Structure 1
Amino acid sequence: MAVSEGREESGILEKYLTDVKAIRDSGGGVKETSYYPALSNLFNAAGNALKPKVRCVMNLRNLGDGMPDGGLFTADQFQRQSEGAPKAGQLPARGAIEAKGTKPNVKVIAASQQVKDYLNTYGIVIVSNLREFLIVERGANGQPVEREAFALADDETDFWQRKAAHPHGTAVLKGGPFAEFIKRACLHAAPLNSPKDAAWFLASYARDALARVERRKELPALQNVRSALEEALGMKFTDEKGEHFFRSTLVQTLFYGVFSAWVRWHKDSPGSTAKFDWRTAEWSLHVPFIRTLYRQVADPDQLGRLGLVETLDWAAGVLNRVNRAEFFDRFEDEYAVQYFYEPFLEAYDPELRKALGVWYTPREIVKYQVARVDTVLREELGLPDGLADPNVIVLDPCCGTATYLVEVLHKIAETLREKGGDALVAADLKKAAIERVFGFEIMPAPFVVSHLQLGLLLQSQGAPLSTDERVGVYLTNALTGWQPPKGPKQRLLFPEMEEERDAAEQVKRDKKILVVLGNPPYNAFAGVSPEEEQGLVDPYKAGLNKPAASGGWGIKKFNLDDLYVRFFRLAERRIAEMSGKGVVSFISNFSYLGDPSFVVMRQRFLAEFDKLWLDCMNGDSRETGKLTPEGKPDPSVFSTDYNREGIRVGTAVCVMVRKPVRQKKPTVRFRHFWGANKRVELLDSVNAKNVDRAYTVADPRSENRLTFRPEDVAAHYAAWPKMVDLCAIAPFNGPVERRGGSLISIDRAPLEVRIRAYFDSAVPDSEVAVLHPSLMMTGNRIVGPDARRKLLKEHDFSREAVVRYPFKVMDLRWAYLANIRPLFSEPSPHLLNQRFEGNAFFISRDTADKTPEGSPFYFSRSICDYDSISGHARHFPIRVKNGDRLEKQAEATLFAALGEEPEVDKPVANLSSAARDYLARLKIRSLDDGKTAKLIWMHALAIGYSPAYLTENADGVRRDWPRIPLPGDRKALEASAALGEQIAALLDTEADVPGVTSGKIASVFKTIGLITKAGGGQIDAAGSDLEVTAGWGHKGKEGVTMPGKGRTQERAYGEDEAKAIDAEAAARGMSAEDARLLLGETTCDVYLNGAAYWRNIPLNVWEYYIGGYQVIKKWLSYREEGGLGRALKPEEAREVMNMARRIAAIILLQPKLDENYRAVAAAAFAWSSQ
């Protein structure tokens, strides 16, 4: 059988109704045969989306028992490439079609002798009167059996006057379910023997069921179920997203319940001819919540009005068609999620699947965690039987489909059998599953699956659950209910839900849990608003934003909202504070390993646990681009055959143990796993004789914000000042636009046109929106029509506000940058106040968030975008002016640094009192002079572009504001600052650099980045030769530009290029070999398109990063013709050439930069004495 590639649009129904209406309106048709083409087009449109494709042929020849009106054939029944008749003598593989006019009832047609005769030959007949469709199949006794039906209208009049008369309106209401039905009709006779095929059919019925629920979403009985679920779980389904989420999950749960009951029914060996009935299945007795739902669905006075019984009957019917022998050969009980539920969710609701994330935790990860927990119980807590010890109580607080619990029971069974395994092992296993291996799940659908998986496991082990038994998985919010309620216990509408809640709370409050493990969710579900969880992570925020001088951590911005953080706090509290000993093992987002926001969380782990083993699985799209340090693919560990994308964030596995007798100092062990084979490598590592030997012992200290990552930092790094120790006033954030680029433009003219129009009251909002829709957007700090009217009263267009604006490193654009909220979402007004003649800005960030990052420093005469460097651009003005330009707090800080009140509007050096004292010790005077004010910042720039500095202090530089060594004497400072001046000049794309971009250009730079015509000749600048179409970028989600692979050709240097490098090496007093090592052993030709390329961009120039971005490639990603809307101008094409030359010049300075850094570091000023 084949499954649909995607959800069908309502266009199938609209086209069908349009066709039949046109035929009737023509007045020339007959009641039956004239409509054959419309029916044929209908079935072909649906069949075209299937594999193999299904084609409809009308007017079949007589193959016995008469001539049906049509038949459904699969593509392989036709001659190759044939559009005509199928191969002679073949019956239609997917059944016959019998069509009549709109007058007779479809059931009357189905009961006719003619249809009975057709069934004898064809087995299945799809009967239609144009307005109704009915699938009829030959029963066991040869009699017709009616299966699915679909009615477009109540009767003939309704069809012609209301439904067919309005094709589009009818399609909006019924198009989706109708298209699903027609596809199922095309597949009804298909072999059904694989889990994926069954998943598609059940998902199709579930979509039909969901459509019915959505039509009756205000039904009081449905609201009652929602309210009961909210009360039982302590959460709310808020807004329309949450409401839809509830309804979609409800339907999903019902169908999983039917499938689960069918699987269990099969396991009871009912015989090959037995038929499954979901109403009588005993499986639901083990899951009271499901029993309640089914009772509600079947009750005409409750959810029966939704009409779901019919869709559940269809589901049972298709399951009865499954070739069970073949199906269960392919269906592995323990991996039901991978084999059935993931495909079901993908077909049922891809958006919901995306929102819920990955259900399936790869088996290698699960096996590894369970094995490690078992070992730690034995070796660290003195329990020789590990998980098999009857006193070990296990909890997966977010158990999903019970993958971890299944593996825990396998490990228990393995241990029991290794001990000699008598005939009571199965009973021991069942007792563990009921009494001490617990799971909590807040989502009803995976909760159903978990019960099936555990039930199947016990059945396979010879210990099936009896009617009155259930496993210890509970539908509950794991993050609430651990303390008794302050008032009377809330009564719930359904007794079964109340029983479920009470049983879960007994586990939470009375069981001495020794192991907490699992894969906690990373994000909260859309539209679901938990009520009791808000204060759970407050202990992880204690002292975070308190100044370091006052005993805090000085972290002003932090994000601890991800859901997995709450589960860590739950596990910590449960093991450390309630049980007093135990083990925690999660796989989760890896941010907590070293991100500054998580420093207090790490502090608590160090206080509450004795040993921590951390396996960093990497695979992060933002930080490493899913690449190994060698540049090879590093996929998410969740990337599987069923979910190749995996997840975007990097992950880590932790195992943390708290001993009853505490260690004086905790031990933190850390290791990395990289590459496509890391899951296997992780699991294999459990077999090592000495697991600890593979780890590096980390050294969490307050100086490194208690990072769990072993650090690569020079011995004296912590003694050097941070960048923020050098400035008088705290750095300013760069401006934040968040207006879809409407205030920023590569070209000045269109920006001026649209902003002039925006400030012209004669131009209506609609015309402004045409110029750039985002100018009239609403949302964050509203800038829609109301805001425009307000701004028009207070502001006029100012040509002076159109300024040069570094959007990214070396990517200079235009921006309308004025202190007008909410035009820019956050214009950073106090930073704008520091724009004055002769001033400039040193730029860095507080924490790195990309790898590789390159230098974390930038320098600009213009204010740069907030995201011009990754980690956010924080601006250090070289000089500052006082008065209204500064906030009161900054003004006071400046006063303290100067030791006197600064004159209003007189620029003074942005240097802290400690930095001023340092310069004074070097006998440097006139600190507020423009040149002197830059000394320290230019020195910092020189240090920050030294590869030796970045390598030797990599982890220190990444985790916080970079620290830099200060020279111990004036001469060394001035020499270092002179190097920094060279770097600043090379970064300033608005100023020529003699010898590099202007004047007599050095021979090596002459050869770099030449715009070249493929095949030779001259570039047609007026044609398409300068269009960037090589795939360097594309528009992603919400219009964000995403980089592409583009096209480069790596090659050896040409003879002239090599000679130029040799000459430059000689001029700089270095060997040719060293020069090639610096620039790259090979070079690249970088293509705009198939006709033009930039010739000779040395490999290390092409791969050069500043502030987390690959400079030239990032620039190109925004110039792809599809986004830019035009070809490059000649000066823009040459800008890439000049960028390459500037970067090459920086790279050729690296030996001097490294020499300077090492000399300064070796004789650094003793800043700690300040």
Structure 2
Amino acid sequence: MQNMNFQTHFDRYLQRIRRTQESAAATPELSLFPHLQAFLEELSVDHFDRNTVRFVQEPRRLDQIGRPDFVAMDGLLPIGYIEAEAYGRDLNNLTGHAREQNARFTENLDNFILTNFVDFQLWTEGRLRAAASIADSTENFETLLERFLNAEPIQIATPEALAGYLARRTRELQTQVATTLTDESSDIYRMFSAFKELLLSTLTPGDFADMYAQTLAYGLFAARCTLPNATNFSRHTAVDALPRSNPFLIQLFHHIASPRLEANVTYILDEIAVLLRNVPTEMLRTAFAAGNHLEDPVIHFYETFLAEYDPQRRVDRGVYYTPPQVISYIVRSVDSLLKTELERPDGLADDRTLILDPATGTGGFLLTVLEHIQASVTQTYGAAEWGQYVNAELVKRIFGFELLVAPYTIAHLKLGLFLQSQGWRADERLRIYLTNTLEQPAEMQPPLPFAEFITDEANAALSVKRDAPLLVILGNPPYPQDSANPSREGRRLTFIGELIEDYKPLNGQLLGIWDQKKLLQADYVKFVRWAQWRIDKNGEGVIGYIVNNSFLEGETFRRMRQSLMKSFNTIYCLNLHGSGRIEEIVPEQKTDENVFDIIQGVSILLCIKQSDNSTPAKVYYADLWGPREDKYNTLSETDILTTTWSELPSMPPFYHFVPRVTEHSEDYESGIVISDIFAKSSTGIFTARDKLTIHQTVEELRETVTDFVSISEDEAREKYKLSRDTQDWKVHLAQADLRNHPDFEQHIEPINYRPFDTRWTYYTGQSRGFHCAPRPAAMHHLLAENLALCVHRGIRSPVWQHALVTNKISEKSYISNRSEPTAQVFPLYLYPDPEELGISTERSLNFKPAFLIELSEALELPQVEPFNLPEGVSPEEILAYIYAVLYSPIYRKRYYDFLKYGFPRIPLPQDIEQFLTLAALGQQLIDWHLLKDVSVPPRHRFEGEGDGVVGRVRYVDEKIWINTSQYVTDVPPEVWAYEIGSYRVCEKWLRDRRGAV
């Protein structure tokens, strides 16, 4: 090193930038760029012997988020990046756009300098590695620049490490694509428009930026995987390495090699290419070994990547790796059903069998189908025959649809590599298409300028959707409840929305107001319905899915089950259980785990439709409990022929796909359903924002409401940590509701939030206001003196304990916050709406006339005016009788298997004596549950020294400790363990008050 010359360069640079800064025409950054560029290039050549390094200045565009100001190029290779802020700006306290942009750069670029022309920071892998100020020391800067110029290529030893590095660069690519889409004259914007028009009509710019980024990152990765070495690998040469079996991807890569591609996109694509060039070929070969399921690339190069890149999108789209044991069971079972039920002696290998996976993902199901066909043909006809078979008609009858481009790319690569290993000549495309399965099959599209390859993809997928005689539909549809495929666009039903309507009526009648309609909007339900429609259209076929197991017995799905029974001749349901949302009664000496890393329980669904067979459907059921590995072993070793099945009787109106207990059914069915006792009801209040709308004290509520309504929408969203608006709850609508109802004293109301937990809210009764759904149909009647019964319509818990009385408005999760139907609120009295003219001002009873007639007959008492009650019987006594029945341990245990499905049925009393006895017990319970003054000798004491603030709550030796030094005495275990709905009452009440006195 020649320190004097080094110092001379420093002095000259500082003089130049200070002189320029003093000029009136200088801009904070741009005027200094030439000095910084010359300074860095002179040092690189004179002091580090890097004659091939150039610092290329990237032109700025004000309408784009931007790329770094300089790219350090060694020949054609980018080796690092530099972003320059205003001269002298504090790099540790950037704000606004600069802070956001540089946070992206430091996170996503692995050799990055941030500077203000005097201070320099070197960042690698998201961490600050070195800092120097040339105004203070040349030595520190010399070290920093040397590290920057001599940065070694990233060493990647594992697929997991590659997933992380690739994810970071893909996030930056997504950002750059998103900003390019603001320019409607750009090639990328025209491509977005073509995708939206031809392939994915619901595509947004943000979704396209994500799709485009993932596709290119994965396309580069796919190309790299096929190369024995990567000496000349780049975005320009990648297209030559892609398999000819994917013309869509090839055309897309011709686009990114074009000199017209926007520079802010090319820089990060080049960075990804450099990253992949340095990945050891041997590591890629091992990870991508055909048939090596334990090292399936989906684990490392898709699911792990997506968890790194955008974990929420993984949840939203339901992207989860399907265990090969599950796939194997389904594929082998479908093969057997084709042979035994549909007269296809060669099963999946039969040349008349067209096979589709409508949610292909990374191709796990289709690869297993190909492997099964290969084994079957080789075993039956010999290896020589397979060599001819694989190049004949095989790929023409294997189809896949996929909505996400990254897994689409992997599926092409995975299946192409396997087929080529089997002698396939790859002279035609694979029939895996980029399309949305659930969109309506429309007419063929004429080619769009600039986007012929997109038109070709859309038309090819359309032909399969509409015309191909599909015999097998199999796969793992996505699970999200909030479907990415809407049933309505505005008021118009979409194609899949119209199909799902068939799952809503029951025997021609719409389900009641309590039906959980959203459950039918889950993606997996729509994929089942689509497959049903497609097999019905074909006249025969097999469905083999793994899906959420909620549909097997949930009341909402009863019409779905009935519809499947009408379409198919035989249905098999293998319940794999594993739910983390509901407590199932697991067989003794068994633990139970999910076969996926998800909380929904799952099941395998196999449906068979035979042509010209109109016999009633038979439904078969089997359970598979146990640890995950045990389930995997069983699925690997069995199939539909060796599974022990139980035939289920067809039992309207629910048509359950699980075994039902029939003992005591006659007694239970003789009772009267709660919804036939009371005339009006609704679910509890749904606020959509509990922390904002419900408070422990009046003072907290008053302070929040007063402040919330007085600040701007953006301030309110940030201050109260409100997530993004939904269709039915928006910040500005909540504020407007409060402004339209300004009388605090008139609208403040106590609300029963959880058992024995009364809080305060601001109740206006306005839907889509401060409360998302205030449920005035029932809650209006609880603003005055009243009682109401809250009870669930079906449960998914192992014990029925889902009834509770209220005398106030109540929140929807008053009894349970688990994934089961929310409680229905049945008021005892109905009050007239004061805004309705000509309505009586007297309250009335909420009992249905038919029920009062039956009750009077059972009690052998005449009905009397004014309410037609049995003579001498009060409304409160009737409610108390019902309450006593619902709290009877015998009733709950004996009828549990019926209470799981629908509203409870209440038996009529045998006589007046039984009625009065139970009514007295029920009234005592009601008083207790409403915390009314009940004479009980004092038993418990609050002891210990302290401030009374609730901390860590624990129960030890009949004491409830609320903190480390204070406790409540003499609490029996059964009191501490007492539950209502999903809540352990004492523990819940205390934990909700942690930090309070």
- What is the identity, as a one-letter code, of the residue corresponding to 2:914? A
Distance, in Å, in 1 between the alignment partners of 2:81 and 2:488 is: 40
The alignment status of 1:669 with 2:620, answered yes or no, reads yes
Residue 226 of structure 1 and its aligned partner are, at CA, apart by 0.7
- Residue equivalent to 1:85: none
Q: CA 1:701 to 1:390, structure 2 compared with 1: closer, same or farther past 3 Å?
A: same
- Contact persistence 2:225–2:284 (CA under 8 A): no
The alignment status of 1:534 with 2:494, answered yes or no, reads yes
Aligned residue for 1:702, secondary structure, equals: coil
Distance, in Å, in 1 between the alignment partners of 2:488 and 2:46 is: 58
- Residue equivalent to 1:437: 398
- Residue equivalent to 2:60: none
Distance, in Å, in 1 between the alignment partners of 2:783 and 2:155 is: 77
Aligned residue for 1:151, secondary structure, equals: strand
The alignment status of 1:910 with 2:847, answered yes or no, reads yes
- Residue equivalent to 1:292: 251
Q: CA 1:417 to 1:1091, structure 2 compared with 1: closer, same or farther past 3 Å?
A: farther
- What is the identity, as a one-letter code, of the residue corresponding to 2:979? Y
Q: CA 1:880 to 1:493, structure 2 compared with 1: closer, same or farther past 3 Å?
A: same
Distance, in Å, in 2 between the alignment partners of 1:132 and 1:830 is: 62
Distance, in Å, in 2 between the alignment partners of 1:341 and 1:439 is: 18
- Contact persistence 2:619–2:657 (CA under 8 A): yes
| TM-score, scaled to structure 1 | 0.69
The alignment status of 1:192 with 2:156, answered yes or no, reads yes
- What is the identity, as a one-letter code, of the residue corresponding to 1:924? L
The alignment status of 1:452 with 2:413, answered yes or no, reads yes
The alignment status of 1:1088 with 2:959, answered yes or no, reads no
The partner residue of 1:148 within 79, 95, 108 is 79
The partner residue of 2:110 within 172, 178, 181 is 181
Distance, in Å, in 1 between the alignment partners of 2:498 and 2:627 is: 38
The partner residue of 2:87 within 156, 160, 167 is 160
The alignment status of 1:283 with 2:242, answered yes or no, reads yes
Larger mean CA deviation between 924-933 and 772-781 belongs to 772-781
Distance, in Å, in 2 between the alignment partners of 1:306 and 1:116 is: 25
The alignment status of 1:249 with 2:219, answered yes or no, reads no
The partner residue of 2:522 within 530, 547, 562 is 562
Residue 960 of structure 1 and its aligned partner are, at CA, apart by 1.0
Residue 905 of structure 1 and its aligned partner are, at CA, apart by 0.5
Distance, in Å, in 1 between the alignment partners of 2:786 and 2:474 is: 56
The partner residue of 2:685 within 712, 715, 735 is 735
The partner residue of 2:945 within 999, 1002, 1019 is 1019
- What is the identity, as a one-letter code, of the residue corresponding to 2:889? P
Residue 432 of structure 1 and its aligned partner are, at CA, apart by 5.5
Aligned residue for 1:984, secondary structure, equals: helix
- Contact persistence 2:569–2:609 (CA under 8 A): yes
The alignment status of 1:715 with 2:665, answered yes or no, reads yes
Residue 514 of structure 1 and its aligned partner are, at CA, apart by 1.0
Match runs of 1:1143-1154 below 5 Å: none
Superimposed CA distance per residue, residues 642-668 of structure 1 (whole angstroms, 9 cap, x where no aligned partner): xxxx3x433222011112352622121
- What is the identity, as a one-letter code, of the residue corresponding to 1:478? T
Distance, in Å, in 1 between the alignment partners of 2:837 and 2:424 is: 72
Superimposed CA distance per residue, residues 388-409 of structure 1 (whole angstroms, 9 cap, x where no aligned partner): 2222111001101111000111
Distance, in Å, in 2 between the alignment partners of 1:398 and 1:446 is: 10
The partner residue of 2:384 within 423, 432, 448 is 423
The partner residue of 1:699 within 632, 649, 653 is 649
Q: Give the gaps of 5 or more residues in structure 2.
A: 1-6, 15-33, 58-67, 112-123, 126-147
Residue 968 of structure 1 and its aligned partner are, at CA, apart by 2.6
Residue 913 of structure 1 and its aligned partner are, at CA, apart by 2.0
Distance, in Å, in 1 between the alignment partners of 2:558 and 2:279 is: 55
- Contact persistence 1:768–1:776 (CA under 8 A): no
Distance, in Å, in 2 between the alignment partners of 1:776 and 1:279 is: 42
Match runs of 1:948-1097 below 5 Å: 948-989=890-931, 991-994=932-935, 998=936, 1000=937, 1006=939, 1011=942, 1018-1020=944-946, 1023=947, 1026-1029=949-952, 1047=954, 1086-1094=960-968, 1097=971
Residue 724 of structure 1 and its aligned partner are, at CA, apart by 3.5
- Residue equivalent to 2:611: 660
Distance, in Å, in 1 between the alignment partners of 2:955 and 2:345 is: 59
Superimposed CA distance per residue, residues 620-644 of structure 1 (whole angstroms, 9 cap, x where no aligned partner): 34333x99577987554321xxxxx
The alignment status of 1:228 with 2:175, answered yes or no, reads no
- What is the identity, as a one-letter code, of the residue corresponding to 1:498? T
Distance, in Å, in 2 between the alignment partners of 1:617 and 1:115 is: 65
Distance, in Å, in 2 between the alignment partners of 1:776 and 1:345 is: 23
Distance, in Å, in 2 between the alignment partners of 1:527 and 1:483 is: 16
Distance, in Å, in 1 between the alignment partners of 2:974 and 2:569 is: 45
Aligned residue for 2:479, secondary structure, equals: coil
Aligned residue for 2:362, secondary structure, equals: coil
Q: CA 1:469 to 1:796, structure 2 compared with 1: closer, same or farther past 3 Å?
A: same
Distance, in Å, in 2 between the alignment partners of 1:665 and 1:786 is: 52
Aligned residue for 1:439, secondary structure, equals: strand
Distance, in Å, in 1 between the alignment partners of 2:675 and 2:167 is: 60
Superimposed CA distance per residue, residues 141-160 of structure 1 (whole angstroms, 9 cap, x where no aligned partner): xxx9954231324xxxx863
Distance, in Å, in 1 between the alignment partners of 2:713 and 2:163 is: 47
Residue 570 of structure 1 and its aligned partner are, at CA, apart by 1.6
- Cα RMSD of the aligned pairs, angstroms, is 4.3
Residues matched between the structures, number: 901
Distance, in Å, in 1 between the alignment partners of 2:167 and 2:224 is: 15
- What is the identity, as a one-letter code, of the residue corresponding to 2:945? I
- Residue equivalent to 2:551: 592
Distance, in Å, in 2 between the alignment partners of 1:614 and 1:957 is: 23
Q: CA 1:222 to 1:135, structure 2 compared with 1: closer, same or farther past 3 Å?
A: closer
The partner residue of 2:372 within 411, 426, 448 is 411
Residue 344 of structure 1 and its aligned partner are, at CA, apart by 2.5
The partner residue of 1:512 within 456, 469, 478 is 469
Q: CA 1:125 to 1:365, structure 2 compared with 1: closer, same or farther past 3 Å?
A: farther
Distance, in Å, in 2 between the alignment partners of 1:348 and 1:791 is: 41
- Contact persistence 1:545–1:555 (CA under 8 A): no
Distance, in Å, in 2 between the alignment partners of 1:1120 and 1:689 is: 52
Residue 177 of structure 1 and its aligned partner are, at CA, apart by 2.0
Residue 693 of structure 1 and its aligned partner are, at CA, apart by 6.1
Superimposed CA distance per residue, residues 481-535 of structure 1 (whole angstroms, 9 cap, x where no aligned partner): 54656xx757564222222223223323443211100111234776999979813
- Contact persistence 1:834–1:880 (CA under 8 A): yes
Distance, in Å, in 2 between the alignment partners of 1:496 and 1:917 is: 71
| TM-score, scaled to structure 2 | 0.80
The alignment status of 1:924 with 2:861, answered yes or no, reads yes
Aligned residue for 1:236, secondary structure, equals: coil
Residue 1095 of structure 1 and its aligned partner are, at CA, apart by 5.5
- What is the identity, as a one-letter code, of the residue corresponding to 1:660? S
- Residue equivalent to 1:1105: 979
The partner residue of 1:305 within 241, 262, 267 is 262
The partner residue of 2:221 within 239, 259, 265 is 259
Q: CA 1:134 to 1:368, structure 2 compared with 1: closer, same or farther past 3 Å?
A: same
- What is the identity, as a one-letter code, of the residue corresponding to 1:654? L
Larger mean CA deviation between 412-421 and 442-451 belongs to 412-421
Q: CA 1:610 to 1:103, structure 2 compared with 1: closer, same or farther past 3 Å?
A: closer
Q: CA 1:826 to 1:1028, structure 2 compared with 1: closer, same or farther past 3 Å?
A: same
- Residue equivalent to 1:42: none
Distance, in Å, in 2 between the alignment partners of 1:413 and 1:694 is: 28
Q: CA 1:360 to 1:106, structure 2 compared with 1: closer, same or farther past 3 Å?
A: farther
Match runs of 1:371-390 below 5 Å: 371-390=332-351
Q: CA 1:969 to 1:691, structure 2 compared with 1: closer, same or farther past 3 Å?
A: farther
Distance, in Å, in 1 between the alignment partners of 2:764 and 2:343 is: 67
Aligned residue for 2:620, secondary structure, equals: strand
Aligned residue for 1:843, secondary structure, equals: strand
Q: CA 1:173 to 1:326, structure 2 compared with 1: closer, same or farther past 3 Å?
A: closer
Distance, in Å, in 2 between the alignment partners of 1:273 and 1:757 is: 63
The partner residue of 1:620 within 579, 590, 599 is 579
Distance, in Å, in 2 between the alignment partners of 1:108 and 1:347 is: 39
Distance, in Å, in 1 between the alignment partners of 2:678 and 2:585 is: 40
